Structure 1
């Protein structure tokens, strides 16, 4: 049977552009993974890895015009958005190169022998080592930042792990182009192209996570797809870590005092956040708790004005457009749900932004309205109007894990008076990033960043953005009683590489 072709499709018209590749067979997946496994030695030197990451950033920047054009043709996200996302991707690569050079991620700990301890302590030297080949599943909505050269790939390479990417079907031509650019950067530094493998096809994705040489996986996508891969990773004869981002509602709570103080600003800001990128951000605010009454009405009016002024946009592909329209229809048909601005089809290939409202008491009860507590991918949000604090708290108590949770406070509450601290305490168990008086769209690449959250937002406690993302692809090893001549230089007493470490209980810098 001939392998199925992989087509590049224009989301603005739904028409095929070109055949890019063919879906990989099981045998081809096996060959790509084994070639990546054989490339591990080329990534062993931290200096080589850092140089490779920087060279990849340089080459991606040099190819910016070609890459942005290719990305826009397959995603319709627009040159401005894509240019910014590519710059973010290059910054992330360079940032991780700095992490590699600093070496703190190795978590070096040395305990010298102590015969007087109970029990006696032998010579122990601890370091973190790469897991092995990492499978990366590219995201649809971030064709640069969470795809072939995105955070999972960059952090895995930084850890010393070869990568095999399962390309997203929404941008296969771009995936091939980015892989070519990154491989060329590696060749300059002695890193073979096989250190970054690329496969296409749904079945290839399943075969990839099952492959015995794959040591871990990173995924950004839907709950259904991510959970299937997570289960496959756990069902292997040797289970492997699966770091998946599966979806998030990203709740927002607006206090009564905050609405009274600045309802119009909050409503306008919400409109900008929920429609950014045609509502296709993983941290889009999808549920907003707004007080009933006059202040809340002012907020709804401002949101109505902001959303009504938003032009229809193109979603990433036809399948997502269909799912969005079906999701809106199902939610709008629920009892007591109203549509001040009705989201839906904006044209043959576009969708219009909108929002729904529902009494919060409906969401506080299990049953008919549970659909409103699930993410709907696209330019829509749900406003739950609460009568009092107890009603708002009851809704929060029903929410699953999220990437973000936000509260808008009044100036008095932000200063420590009123319920600000209590609300933060209620939101913290729900999310990996808690915001005050802001909007969650926009995930800064920074050392303190955490992009993750309780299940189903993610399947692990780690982050996929920021310097600590590298930790997902490492495991600790302790060497006991090993002569220094046989130890890696990172564990030598003289600390020839100048690494931050803890020695005999004392942190050295």
Structure 2
């Protein structure tokens, strides 16, 4: 029969049900009922998190290391249930859920390693100079400290790695910040299993019950109350531009504005330089087709636009891409709403005379099939709607008359998560001209690869200038993401007896 959800919220260590309910919309199997989130539950969770901060914010790094490892262990102990309910709710294949579970536990353990190293604290010390003239210098230490309770919004397209125990939660807990998660209504059962794992880890390591809460579902007022709650000190979000911008504005309008770390979307342009295009158009086309259709195109790093020079090599690339897409079977999208939004995005391209269909399909119900279009650089730059993300396996080829037009075209892009160069040695001069533009536009620049598949490592940046994200100095993937939930504190002339232990 598989995993059966109980449908309750986890609020400061207590499983709470009752009241109004909502149902998930599984891709397969019968729906389940879940208690609907309320403003009162948000308030209780935030108050529990604030109470927990006075204990959890001052735990040792070793204690938080043990907690993060315990969460990872408890998630792995529920592997079968996670795969079962995750596949049913999202329509994603078992291999994807299993891989994402490994990424989720890997993130938790990576942050545990980060805590052990201690370099994230950025400790600095300027020793006293009592004999300095005309005035002595005091003894000053600096160290990063946790900011307080953090709100996290679960993502629709990553039910594990960007949701209840995903990167935002892992980074905040590592920093010493309690977390209140607003679960995504597309996969509440999956979120429930992960919350059970975190709860079990809290109990086994003796953590304060308010260190983690999960509020399921709820109307817009639930999300609004969470980001505007005076005890919440930062927000992590992965989702749509419209929804993210609305929450960002609410954070800015608070009596005490707080940082909103939103990853909002990107078209992730690829620039195919002439020598590389002439040498391996077919190979690049097949790689692009696989990248753009993976997970039904429902990835924030989906390379949605390819900039290609006019000519025979470019024509061959377009034809090879279309041929590769014909072999891609329809895929189930995460929700019916996303499938409808994908069809709406396709209609936007179909309605434009400047856009030429290369390979088009009809998608029905919750299924999505790939679509490919082509447009001239001039028409592309004249129509901002063509630069907007379509969440799904739809891509656009932008044809430039000459390769030299790539630099001015690149300058017209808004902020991106990624930008890719496909190049050979003969393309070096053009690549050098493009790189200053691309590094200003994107958080990650790739060469001869595809941006889907984000490595969780120290050097990763998953963010970029707006609208890719709301804070261009931050990343939501990699160990640097812990910085979002820390702030620097200077300690002047404190005796060793009261200095924080990490400074001794």
What interval of TM-score do these two structures reach, taking the shorter chain for normalisation?
over 0.9
CA offset digits 1:164-193 (Å, max 9, x no partner): 000001001111111111110121111134
Pair 1:147 & 2:163 matched: yes
Equivalent in the alignment of 1:37: 50
Q: 1:397 aligns with which of 411, 419, 433?
A: 411
Q: Distance in 2 between matches of 1:183 and 1:120?
A: 51
Equivalent in the alignment of 2:437: 426
The question of whether the paired residues in 2 share the 8 Å contact of 1:33 and 1:214 is answered with yes
Pair 1:360 & 2:377 matched: yes
Pair 1:436 & 2:447 matched: yes
Q: Give the superposition deviation at 1:199.
A: 1.0
Residue segments in structure 1 that go unaligned for 5+ positions in a row: 493-509
- RMSD of Structure 2 on Structure 1 (CA): 1.5
1:156-235 matches, cutoff 5 A: 156-200=172-216, 201=218, 202-235=220-253
- For structure 1, which segment, 164-173 or 104-113, has the greater mean C-alpha deviation from structure 2 after superposition? 104-113
SS of residue in 2 equivalent to 1:485: coil
CA offset digits 1:335-369 (Å, max 9, x no partner): 22122111441x4331111211111111133xxx2
Q: 2:387 aligns with which of 366, 370, 373?
A: 373
SS of residue in 1 equivalent to 2:299: coil
SS of residue in 1 equivalent to 2:270: strand
Q: 1:310 aligns with which of 304, 317, 328?
A: 328
SS of residue in 1 equivalent to 2:243: helix
Q: Distance in 1 between matches of 2:264 and 2:107?
A: 22
Equivalent in the alignment of 2:423: 409
Q: Aligned pair in 2 of structure 1 residues 6, 45: CA closer, same or farther (>3 Å)?
A: farther
Q: Distance in 1 between matches of 2:251 and 2:366?
A: 37
Q: 2:273 aligns with which of 255, 263, 267?
A: 255
Equivalent in the alignment of 2:355: 337
Equivalent in the alignment of 1:86: 101
Q: 1:20 aligns with which of 14, 30, 34?
A: 34
Q: Aligned pair in 2 of structure 1 residues 410, 185: CA closer, same or farther (>3 Å)?
A: same
Equivalent in the alignment of 1:297: 315
CA offset digits 1:236-262 (Å, max 9, x no partner): 000111110011110111012211111
Q: Aligned pair in 2 of structure 1 residues 334, 130: CA closer, same or farther (>3 Å)?
A: same
Residue segments in structure 2 that go unaligned for 5+ positions in a row: 1-17
Equivalent in the alignment of 2:24: 8
The question of whether the paired residues in 2 share the 8 Å contact of 1:110 and 1:491 is answered with no
Pair 1:448 & 2:465 matched: no
1:251-290 matches, cutoff 5 A: 251-290=269-308
SS of residue in 2 equivalent to 1:432: strand
Q: Give the superposition deviation at 1:390.
A: 4.1
The question of whether the paired residues in 2 share the 8 Å contact of 1:37 and 1:132 is answered with yes
Q: Distance in 2 between matches of 1:327 and 1:168?
A: 23
Q: Distance in 2 between matches of 1:293 and 1:119?
A: 72
- For structure 1, which segment, 150-159 or 257-266, has the greater mean C-alpha deviation from structure 2 after superposition? 257-266
Q: Give the superposition deviation at 1:117.
A: 5.8
Equivalent in the alignment of 2:129: 114
The question of whether the paired residues in 2 share the 8 Å contact of 1:59 and 1:182 is answered with yes
Q: 2:154 aligns with which of 117, 123, 138?
A: 138
CA offset digits 1:371-428 (Å, max 9, x no partner): 1100000011111111113433332121110000001012333xx4x32211222211
Q: Aligned pair in 2 of structure 1 residues 490, 352: CA closer, same or farther (>3 Å)?
A: same
Q: 1:72 aligns with which of 87, 93, 109?
A: 87
Q: Distance in 1 between matches of 2:145 and 2:365?
A: 52
Q: Distance in 2 between matches of 1:337 and 1:125?
A: 60
Q: Give the superposition deviation at 1:310.
A: 0.2
- Deviating above 3 A after TM superposition, structure 1's stretches of 4 or more consecutive aligned residues are 117-120
The question of whether the paired residues in 1 share the 8 Å contact of 2:335 and 2:366 is answered with no
The question of whether the paired residues in 2 share the 8 Å contact of 1:86 and 1:145 is answered with yes
Q: Distance in 1 between matches of 2:460 and 2:361?
A: 33
Q: Distance in 1 between matches of 2:225 and 2:396?
A: 38
SS of residue in 1 equivalent to 2:395: strand
Q: Distance in 2 between matches of 1:118 and 1:254?
A: 62
Q: Give the superposition deviation at 1:11.
A: 3.0
- For structure 1, which segment, 215-224 or 28-37, has the greater mean C-alpha deviation from structure 2 after superposition? 28-37
